[in-house]
Protein backbone atom coordinates (compact mmCIF):
# COMPACT_ATOMS: atom_id res chain seq x y z
CA UNK A 1 0.00 0.00 0.00
CA UNK A 2 1.10 3.53 -0.69
CA UNK A 3 2.95 4.88 2.36
CA UNK A 4 1.22 8.25 2.92
CA UNK A 5 -2.11 6.44 2.62
CA UNK A 6 -1.01 3.96 5.27
CA UNK A 7 0.00 6.81 7.54
CA UNK A 8 -3.29 8.53 6.93
CA UNK A 9 -5.19 5.29 7.66
CA UNK A 10 -3.20 4.80 10.84
CA UNK A 11 -4.00 8.33 11.95
CA UNK A 12 -7.68 7.66 11.27
CA UNK A 13 -7.60 4.49 13.35
CA UNK A 14 -6.07 6.36 16.26
CA UNK A 15 -8.46 9.29 15.90
CA UNK A 16 -11.60 7.16 15.61
CA UNK A 17 -11.93 6.09 19.26
CA UNK A 18 -11.20 9.63 20.40
CA UNK A 19 -13.93 10.96 18.14
CA UNK A 20 -16.39 8.31 19.31
CA UNK A 21 -15.60 9.25 22.89
CA UNK A 22 -16.20 12.89 22.16
CA UNK A 23 -19.58 12.43 20.61
CA UNK A 24 -21.30 12.40 23.97
CA UNK A 25 -23.47 14.61 26.09
CA UNK A 26 -23.35 14.47 29.89
CA UNK A 27 -26.74 15.17 31.42
CA UNK A 28 -27.57 15.79 35.08
CA UNK A 29 -31.35 15.78 35.58
CA UNK A 30 -33.85 15.27 38.38
CA UNK A 31 -34.79 11.66 39.04
CA UNK A 32 -38.12 10.58 37.47
CA UNK A 33 -38.05 13.52 35.08
CA UNK A 34 -37.83 11.95 31.61
CA UNK A 35 -39.68 9.28 29.64
CA UNK A 36 -38.33 5.72 29.54
CA UNK A 37 -37.24 5.94 25.91
CA UNK A 38 -36.27 9.63 25.49
CA UNK A 39 -32.53 8.99 25.82
CA UNK A 40 -32.49 5.90 23.58
CA UNK A 41 -34.52 7.71 20.92
CA UNK A 42 -32.16 10.71 20.99
CA UNK A 43 -29.12 8.44 20.72
CA UNK A 44 -30.65 6.54 17.79
CA UNK A 45 -31.59 9.74 15.97
CA UNK A 46 -28.33 11.64 16.47
CA UNK A 47 -25.63 9.06 17.17
CA UNK A 48 -24.68 11.07 20.27
CA UNK A 49 -24.08 8.92 23.34
CA UNK A 50 -25.81 10.16 26.49
CA UNK A 51 -24.30 9.81 29.96
CA UNK A 52 -27.20 10.36 32.32
CA UNK A 53 -27.00 11.04 36.08
CA UNK A 54 -29.80 12.03 38.42
CA UNK A 55 -30.31 14.08 41.59
CA UNK A 56 -33.32 15.02 43.66
CA UNK A 57 -32.40 18.38 45.16
CA UNK A 58 -31.41 21.80 43.76
CA UNK A 59 -28.72 22.34 46.38
CA UNK A 60 -26.69 19.37 45.07
CA UNK A 61 -26.50 20.78 41.54
CA UNK A 62 -25.78 24.25 42.85
CA UNK A 63 -22.81 22.99 44.86
CA UNK A 64 -21.41 21.11 41.82
CA UNK A 65 -21.70 24.17 39.57
CA UNK A 66 -20.07 26.39 42.18
CA UNK A 67 -17.19 23.95 42.58
CA UNK A 68 -16.66 24.01 38.78
CA UNK A 69 -15.58 21.27 36.34
CA UNK A 70 -18.69 19.24 37.00
CA UNK A 71 -18.23 17.63 33.58
CA UNK A 72 -21.93 18.13 32.88
CA UNK A 73 -23.23 19.56 29.61
CA UNK A 74 -26.81 19.98 30.79
CA UNK A 75 -28.25 20.64 34.23
CA UNK A 76 -31.88 21.29 35.17
CA UNK A 77 -32.06 23.85 37.99
CA UNK A 78 -35.29 25.41 39.21
CA UNK A 79 -35.69 29.07 38.29
CA UNK A 80 -34.76 30.49 41.68
CA UNK A 81 -31.44 28.62 41.59
CA UNK A 82 -30.82 29.35 37.90
CA UNK A 83 -31.28 33.06 38.60
CA UNK A 84 -28.39 33.06 41.05
CA UNK A 85 -26.24 30.73 38.93
CA UNK A 86 -26.57 33.12 35.97
CA UNK A 87 -25.53 36.06 38.14
CA UNK A 88 -22.53 34.07 39.35
CA UNK A 89 -21.43 33.43 35.74
CA UNK A 90 -21.94 29.67 36.01
CA UNK A 91 -24.25 29.25 32.99
CA UNK A 92 -23.42 29.56 29.28
CA UNK A 93 -25.62 31.95 27.24
CA UNK A 94 -27.71 29.92 24.77
CA UNK A 95 -26.76 29.98 21.10
CA UNK A 96 -30.36 30.40 19.96
CA UNK A 97 -29.41 29.97 16.28
CA UNK A 98 -29.03 26.24 17.13
CA UNK A 99 -32.40 26.07 18.92
CA UNK A 100 -34.67 26.01 15.89
CA UNK A 101 -37.61 24.68 17.94
CA UNK A 102 -37.53 27.44 20.56
CA UNK A 103 -40.57 29.12 19.00
CA UNK A 104 -42.71 26.20 20.28
CA UNK A 105 -42.58 27.54 23.82
CA UNK A 106 -45.56 29.43 25.22
CA UNK A 107 -44.76 33.19 25.08
CA UNK A 108 -46.61 33.70 28.40
CA UNK A 109 -44.34 31.18 30.10
CA UNK A 110 -41.28 32.76 28.49
CA UNK A 111 -42.36 36.18 29.82
CA UNK A 112 -42.69 34.77 33.37
CA UNK A 113 -39.43 32.87 33.03
CA UNK A 114 -37.68 36.09 32.01
CA UNK A 115 -38.12 37.38 35.58
CA UNK A 116 -35.56 34.74 36.61
CA UNK A 117 -33.63 34.47 33.35
CA UNK A 118 -33.46 37.97 31.79
CA UNK A 119 -34.23 37.91 28.03
CA UNK A 120 -34.53 34.11 28.30
CA UNK A 121 -30.84 34.18 27.50
CA UNK A 122 -29.59 31.23 29.58
CA UNK A 123 -32.31 28.66 30.15
CA UNK A 124 -35.03 26.76 28.32
CA UNK A 125 -38.13 26.13 30.47
CA UNK A 126 -38.51 22.34 30.67
CA UNK A 127 -41.35 21.42 33.04
CA UNK A 128 -43.67 23.28 35.38
CA UNK A 129 -44.49 21.89 38.78
CA UNK A 130 -46.19 22.74 42.02
CA UNK A 131 -45.22 21.65 45.52
CA UNK A 132 -48.19 20.36 47.47
CA UNK A 133 -49.35 17.40 49.55
CA UNK A 134 -49.78 13.78 48.49
CA UNK A 135 -51.94 11.64 50.74
CA UNK A 136 -53.35 8.18 51.09
CA UNK A 137 -57.11 8.69 51.04
CA UNK A 138 -58.18 5.78 53.28
CA UNK A 139 -55.34 6.07 55.79
CA UNK A 140 -55.84 9.82 56.30
CA UNK A 141 -59.59 9.31 56.63
CA UNK A 142 -59.05 6.51 59.16
CA UNK A 143 -56.64 8.63 61.22
CA UNK A 144 -58.50 11.93 61.12
CA UNK A 145 -62.16 11.04 60.48
CA UNK A 146 -64.55 13.19 58.53
CA UNK A 147 -63.21 16.53 59.73
CA UNK A 148 -59.80 16.01 58.05
CA UNK A 149 -58.62 19.32 56.51
CA UNK A 150 -57.89 17.71 53.16
CA UNK A 151 -57.97 21.04 51.38
CA UNK A 152 -55.38 22.85 53.50
CA UNK A 153 -51.76 23.02 54.61
CA UNK A 154 -53.23 22.45 58.11
CA UNK A 155 -52.90 18.74 57.30
CA UNK A 156 -49.14 19.09 57.69
CA UNK A 157 -48.59 22.26 59.69
CA UNK A 158 -51.08 21.87 62.54
CA UNK A 159 -49.12 19.86 65.14
CA UNK A 160 -52.27 18.28 66.62
CA UNK A 161 -53.47 17.18 63.13
CA UNK A 162 -50.20 15.82 61.78
CA UNK A 163 -49.54 14.02 65.09
CA UNK A 164 -52.48 11.74 64.21
CA UNK A 165 -50.75 10.85 60.93
CA UNK A 166 -47.42 10.07 62.55
CA UNK A 167 -48.08 6.34 62.75
CA UNK A 168 -49.15 5.97 59.12
CA UNK A 169 -46.06 7.95 58.07
CA UNK A 170 -45.27 11.55 57.09
CA UNK A 171 -42.46 12.60 54.71
CA UNK A 172 -41.17 16.06 53.83
CA UNK A 173 -38.86 17.15 50.97
CA UNK A 174 -35.23 17.59 51.98
CA UNK A 175 -35.23 21.01 50.39
CA UNK A 176 -34.38 23.95 52.66
CA UNK A 177 -35.43 26.84 50.40
CA UNK A 178 -38.68 25.25 49.27
CA UNK A 179 -39.89 23.90 52.61
CA UNK A 180 -39.07 27.05 54.60
CA UNK A 181 -40.67 29.13 51.79
CA UNK A 182 -43.88 27.11 52.09
CA UNK A 183 -43.80 27.40 55.90
CA UNK A 184 -43.43 31.20 55.61
CA UNK A 185 -46.32 31.34 53.14
CA UNK A 186 -48.49 29.29 55.54
CA UNK A 187 -47.67 31.79 58.31
CA UNK A 188 -48.80 34.67 56.09
CA UNK A 189 -45.23 35.88 55.61
CA UNK A 190 -43.34 36.50 52.38
CA UNK A 191 -42.11 33.07 51.16
CA UNK A 192 -39.02 34.79 49.76
CA UNK A 193 -38.24 36.75 52.91
CA UNK A 194 -34.59 36.93 53.91
CA UNK A 195 -35.39 38.30 57.36
CA UNK A 196 -33.82 36.13 60.06
CA UNK A 197 -36.78 36.93 62.29
CA UNK A 198 -39.18 35.45 59.72
CA UNK A 199 -36.91 32.46 59.26
CA UNK A 200 -36.98 31.87 63.02
CA UNK A 201 -40.79 31.71 62.83
CA UNK A 202 -40.64 29.16 60.00
CA UNK A 203 -38.10 27.16 62.01
CA UNK A 204 -40.39 27.19 65.07
CA UNK A 205 -43.30 25.93 62.95
CA UNK A 206 -41.25 23.13 61.37
CA UNK A 207 -39.76 22.18 64.73
CA UNK A 208 -43.27 21.95 66.19
CA UNK A 209 -44.27 19.27 63.64
CA UNK A 210 -40.88 17.56 63.54
CA UNK A 211 -41.84 14.81 66.06
CA UNK A 212 -44.49 13.63 63.57
CA UNK A 213 -42.17 13.55 60.52
CA UNK A 214 -40.70 10.14 59.70
CA UNK A 215 -38.06 11.45 57.29
CA UNK A 216 -36.86 14.33 55.13
CA UNK A 217 -36.04 13.07 51.63
CA UNK A 218 -36.80 14.32 48.13
CA UNK A 219 -37.58 11.13 46.20
CA UNK A 220 -38.07 8.24 48.64
CA UNK A 221 -41.69 9.29 49.19
CA UNK A 222 -42.64 8.28 45.62
CA UNK A 223 -42.33 4.56 46.30
CA UNK A 224 -43.48 4.87 49.91
CA UNK A 225 -46.70 6.71 49.06
CA UNK A 226 -47.32 4.32 46.18
CA UNK A 227 -47.14 1.21 48.35
CA UNK A 228 -48.79 2.57 51.50
CA UNK A 229 -45.61 2.86 53.61
CA UNK A 230 -46.44 6.49 54.32
CA UNK A 231 -49.75 8.40 54.23
CA UNK A 232 -48.70 12.03 53.75
CA UNK A 233 -45.88 13.67 51.78
CA UNK A 234 -44.90 17.23 51.10
CA UNK A 235 -43.65 16.73 47.56
CA UNK A 236 -43.51 17.65 43.89
CA UNK A 237 -46.78 17.38 41.93
CA UNK A 238 -45.70 14.93 39.22
CA UNK A 239 -43.88 12.69 41.68
CA UNK A 240 -47.07 12.34 43.70
CA UNK A 241 -48.98 11.46 40.52
CA UNK A 242 -46.34 8.83 39.77
CA UNK A 243 -47.03 7.42 43.25
CA UNK A 244 -50.75 7.60 42.62
CA UNK A 245 -50.38 5.76 39.32
CA UNK A 246 -48.19 3.09 40.95
CA UNK A 247 -50.75 2.63 43.73
CA UNK A 248 -53.53 2.17 41.20
CA UNK A 249 -51.47 -0.34 39.15
CA UNK A 250 -50.52 -2.34 42.25
CA UNK A 251 -54.21 -2.64 43.22
CA UNK A 252 -53.37 -3.17 46.89
CA UNK A 253 -56.11 -0.83 48.08
CA UNK A 254 -53.94 2.30 48.27
CA UNK A 255 -55.44 5.38 46.66
CA UNK A 256 -53.10 8.39 46.51
CA UNK A 257 -54.32 11.91 45.78
CA UNK A 258 -52.51 15.18 45.17
CA UNK A 259 -53.66 18.31 46.95
CA UNK A 260 -52.87 21.90 46.04
CA UNK A 261 -53.86 23.51 49.35
CA UNK A 262 -56.44 26.30 49.22
CA UNK A 263 -53.92 28.76 50.72
CA UNK A 264 -51.78 28.34 47.58
CA UNK A 265 -48.79 26.21 46.60
CA UNK A 266 -45.33 26.97 45.35
CA UNK A 267 -45.01 26.93 41.57
CA UNK A 268 -41.69 26.19 39.92
CA UNK A 269 -40.18 26.18 36.49
CA UNK A 270 -37.21 23.92 35.94
CA UNK A 271 -34.86 24.94 33.12
CA UNK A 272 -32.51 23.10 30.79
CA UNK A 273 -29.23 24.99 31.07
CA UNK A 274 -25.60 24.53 29.97
CA UNK A 275 -22.81 25.03 32.53
CA UNK A 276 -20.24 27.62 31.44
CA UNK A 277 -17.50 24.97 31.47
CA UNK A 278 -19.54 22.25 29.70
CA UNK A 279 -17.23 19.99 27.66
CA UNK A 280 -19.78 19.41 24.85
CA UNK A 281 -21.94 22.54 24.50
CA UNK A 282 -22.91 21.80 20.88
CA UNK A 283 -24.27 18.40 21.80
CA UNK A 284 -26.08 20.01 24.73
CA UNK A 285 -27.83 22.37 22.28
CA UNK A 286 -28.77 19.39 20.09
CA UNK A 287 -30.31 17.64 23.08
CA UNK A 288 -32.22 20.74 24.15
CA UNK A 289 -33.53 21.25 20.61
CA UNK A 290 -34.63 17.59 20.57
CA UNK A 291 -36.56 18.08 23.83
CA UNK A 292 -38.28 21.07 22.23
CA UNK A 293 -39.88 18.78 19.63
CA UNK A 294 -43.60 18.58 20.48
CA UNK A 295 -43.91 14.78 20.39
CA UNK A 296 -40.75 14.27 22.41
CA UNK A 297 -41.73 16.54 25.28
CA UNK A 298 -45.37 15.38 25.21
CA UNK A 299 -44.17 11.81 25.75
CA UNK A 300 -42.22 13.00 28.80
CA UNK A 301 -45.26 14.78 30.24
CA UNK A 302 -47.38 11.67 29.67
CA UNK A 303 -44.83 9.58 31.57
CA UNK A 304 -43.87 11.83 34.51
CA UNK A 305 -47.06 13.90 34.90
CA UNK A 306 -45.47 17.35 34.79
CA UNK A 307 -46.85 20.08 32.52
CA UNK A 308 -44.56 21.35 29.77
CA UNK A 309 -44.69 24.84 28.23
CA UNK A 310 -44.54 23.63 24.59
CA UNK A 311 -47.74 24.81 22.84
CA UNK A 312 -47.84 22.40 19.86
CA UNK A 313 -47.08 19.53 22.27
CA UNK A 314 -50.47 19.87 23.92
CA UNK A 315 -52.26 17.89 21.21
CA UNK A 316 -49.99 14.91 21.97
CA UNK A 317 -50.55 15.04 25.74
CA UNK A 318 -53.01 12.40 26.94
CA UNK A 319 -56.48 13.72 27.69
CA UNK A 320 -56.47 12.56 31.34
CA UNK A 321 -53.12 14.30 31.88
CA UNK A 322 -54.01 17.66 30.34
CA UNK A 323 -57.43 17.76 32.03
CA UNK A 324 -55.90 17.03 35.46
CA UNK A 325 -55.91 20.33 37.40
CA UNK A 326 -53.03 19.07 39.56
CA UNK A 327 -50.83 18.77 36.45
CA UNK A 328 -52.10 21.63 34.28
CA UNK A 329 -53.45 23.97 37.00
CA UNK A 330 -56.36 26.28 36.13
CA UNK A 331 -55.85 30.06 36.11
CA UNK A 332 -57.25 30.59 39.65
CA UNK A 333 -54.77 28.09 41.13
CA UNK A 334 -51.90 29.81 39.34
CA UNK A 335 -53.14 33.19 40.62
CA UNK A 336 -52.87 31.91 44.23
CA UNK A 337 -49.53 30.21 43.70
CA UNK A 338 -46.27 31.86 44.60
CA UNK A 339 -42.96 31.77 42.79
CA UNK A 340 -39.69 31.20 44.65
CA UNK A 341 -37.03 33.85 44.13
CA UNK A 342 -33.27 33.50 44.33
CA UNK A 343 -31.71 33.81 47.79
CA UNK A 344 -28.51 35.75 48.35
CA UNK A 345 -25.48 33.52 49.01
CA UNK A 346 -25.31 34.98 52.56
CA UNK A 347 -28.91 34.03 53.33
CA UNK A 348 -28.36 30.60 51.75
CA UNK A 349 -25.70 29.95 54.40
CA UNK A 350 -28.01 30.96 57.24
CA UNK A 351 -30.70 28.77 55.70
CA UNK A 352 -28.41 25.74 55.48
CA UNK A 353 -27.56 26.03 59.19
CA UNK A 354 -31.23 26.49 60.10
CA UNK A 355 -32.22 23.48 58.03
CA UNK A 356 -29.62 21.28 59.73
CA UNK A 357 -31.02 22.38 63.10
CA UNK A 358 -34.57 21.58 61.99
CA UNK A 359 -33.58 18.11 60.76
CA UNK A 360 -31.21 17.08 63.52
CA UNK A 361 -32.48 19.20 66.41
CA UNK A 362 -28.91 20.44 66.94
C1 LIG B 1 -38.79 15.20 39.58
C2 LIG B 1 -38.84 16.37 40.47
C3 LIG B 1 -38.86 17.56 39.66
C4 LIG B 1 -39.43 18.74 40.27
N5 LIG B 1 -38.70 14.01 40.29
C6 LIG B 1 -38.47 19.56 41.01
N7 LIG B 1 -38.56 20.88 40.69
Q: How far is CA 258 from CA 99, 152, 156, 331, in A?
A: 35, 12, 14, 18
- Ligand 1 probe mutation, 123, 236, 273, most atoms within 8 A of CB: 236
Q: What is the pLDDT of residue 20?
A: 46
Q: What is the pLDDT of residue 10?
A: 45
Q: Using CA atoms, how far apart are residues 290 and 99, in angstroms rounded to an integer?
A: 9
What ligand 1 atom has the least distance to the C-alpha of 32? 5
What ligand 1 atom has the least distance to the C-alpha of 236? 4
- Ligand 1 probe mutation, 80, 123, 129, most atoms within 8 A of CB: 129
31 C-alpha to center of ligand 1: Å? 7
76 C-alpha to center of ligand 1: Å? 9
Q: What is the pLDDT of residue 21?
A: 53
Yes or no: say if 190 and 197 are a contact pair by the CB < 8 Å rule.
Answer: no
- Give me the tens of pLDDT residue by residue for the chain, a chain 362 residues long: 444 444 444 444 444 444 445 899 999 999 999 999 999 999 999 999 999 999 999 999 999 999 999 999 999 999 999 999 999 999 999 999 999 999 999 998 999 899 999 999 999 999 999 999 999 999 999 999 988 899 999 999 999 999 999 999 999 999 999 999 999 999 999 999 999 999 999 999 999 999 999 999 999 999 999 999 999 999 999 999 999 999 999 999 999 999 999 998 899 999 999 999 999 999 999 999 999 999 999 999 999 999 999 999 999 999 999 999 999 988 788 777 788 888 998 999 999 999 999 999 86
Provide the angle, in degrees to the nearest 10, between the axes of the packed helices 58-67 and 79-87. 10
Q: What is the SS3 string spanning 239-305? A: HHHHHHHHHHHHCCCCCEEEECCCCCCEEEEEEEECECCCCCHHHHHHHHHHHCCHHHHHHHHHHHC
Q: What is the pLDDT of residue 5?
A: 46
Residue closest by Cα to atom 3 of ligand 1: 30
Q: Using CA atoms, how far apart are residues 239 and 257, in angstroms rounded to an integer?
A: 11
241 C-alpha to center of ligand 1: Å? 12
What ligand 1 atom has the least distance to the C-alpha of 33? 1
Q: Which residues line ligand 1 (CB under 6 A)?
A: 30-33, 78, 129, 236, 239, 268, 270
What ligand 1 atom has the least distance to the C-alpha of 78? 7
64 C-alpha to center of ligand 1: Å? 18
44 C-alpha to center of ligand 1: Å? 26
What ligand 1 atom has the least distance to the C-alpha of 270? 7
What ligand 1 atom has the least distance to the C-alpha of 242? 5
Question: How many helices (H) and strands (E) in the chain?
Answer: 17, 10
Amino acid sequence: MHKPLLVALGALLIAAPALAQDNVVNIYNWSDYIAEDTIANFEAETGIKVNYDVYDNNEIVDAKLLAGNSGYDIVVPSGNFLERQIKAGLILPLDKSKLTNLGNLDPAVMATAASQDPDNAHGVPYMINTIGLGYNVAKVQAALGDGAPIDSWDLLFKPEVVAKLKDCGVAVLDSPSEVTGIALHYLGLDPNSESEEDLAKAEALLTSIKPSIRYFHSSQYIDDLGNGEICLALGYSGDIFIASDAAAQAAQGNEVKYLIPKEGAATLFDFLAIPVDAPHPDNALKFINYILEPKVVAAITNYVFYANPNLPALEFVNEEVKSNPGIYPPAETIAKAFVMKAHSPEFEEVLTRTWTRIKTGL
